[in-house]
Amino acid sequence: MYDTMNPDNSTQTIRILTTGGTIEKSYCESDGTLMNRASTIREGIIQSLRLPYTELELESVLNKDSLEMDDADRDKIAQAIAACGDAQPIVVLHGTDTMSVTAEYCHARLGQPGVAVVFTGAMKPMGFIDSDARQNVTEALLAAKLLPPGFYIAFHNRVFAVPGVRKNLDTGTFEAC
């Protein structure tokens, strides 16, 4: 276990980098579109979680559907991860379609990180009643505290090391590969 448990009751910081993706798509009532606009994670999920010992620092890196991301975008994400330093674990919100591509890109570019970098997202935008966003974010925040340094994807009650994971389009979840 990486985390040194129970030493005291001070607050631990987790950095959240948002890049868009299904998890953060929001609905516009005037034109009926469901798109990545601004980051909605704070009011959509974080405000209703109980995090007495966790301080979250949010940074919006991109607001893109991950199918539209290119290497320039992935480079921007890798740079944002690198700029975080090694002081706190990192959660990256990302579209599921190319989440493993970006995670592998960051792994190839940055090598072994000094902290846990946990990617997550959702199959259904966080605004829906039956979205999996809240579950995945809850899991990613805990995984970020418990896991040793490395790149991971946390999704649907499972943590995958990167590389070694891909989205399964048929089942709508991630799988080891």
Which of 37, 76, 109, 156: binder of its own copies (CB under 8 A)?
156
* Nearest residue to 158 via CA among 141, 143, 148: 143
146 part of the interface to its own copies, by CB under 8 A: yes
Residues 9-28 that bind its own copies (CB under 8 A): 9, 22, 25, 27
Residue 84's contacts (CB-CB under 8 Å, 6 or more residues apart) are 15, 17, 90, 115
Is residue 37 within the footprint of its own copies (CB under 8 A)? no
Closest approach, Cβ 20 to its own copies, in A, equals 12
54: β partners: 12
Q: Report the DSSP pairing between strands 158-161 and 150-155.
A: antiparallel
Cα 108 to Cα 91: distance, rounded to the nearest angstrom = 18
Name the one range near its own copies by CB under 8 A: 73-81, 83-91, 101-109, 164-172.
Answer: 164-172
Which pair of structure tokens corresponds to residue 23? 């998890």
Name the strand (E) or helix (H) holding 74: helix 71-83
Distance, CA of 115 to CA of 13 (rounded, Å): 12
* Interaction of residue 47 with its own copies, rule CB under 8 A: no
Tell me how far apart the alpha carbons of residues 60 and 75 are, in angstroms, rounded to a whole number: 15
The site for its own copies, by CB under 8 A, has a size of 57
Considering only 70-78, 80-88, 101-109, 160-168, which stretch makes contact with its own copies by CB under 8 A?
160-168
Rg of the chain in Å (alpha carbons): 15
Decide if residue 50 touches its own copies (CB under 8 A).
yes
143 binds its own copies, rule: CB under 8 A: yes
Sole window of 49-57, 69-77, 82-90, 99-107 interacting with its own copies (rule: CB under 8 A): 49-57
Task: Report the nearest approach of its own copies to the CB of residue 111 (Å).
Answer: 19
What gap in Å lies between CA 99 and CA 86, rounded to an integer? Answer: 22
- Binding region for its own copies (CB under 8 A): 1-3, 5-9, 22, 25, 27, 29-30, 32, 34, 48-54, 65, 123-125, 127-130, 132, 134-135, 138-139, 141-143, 145-148, 154, 156-161, 164-165, 169, 171-173, 175-176
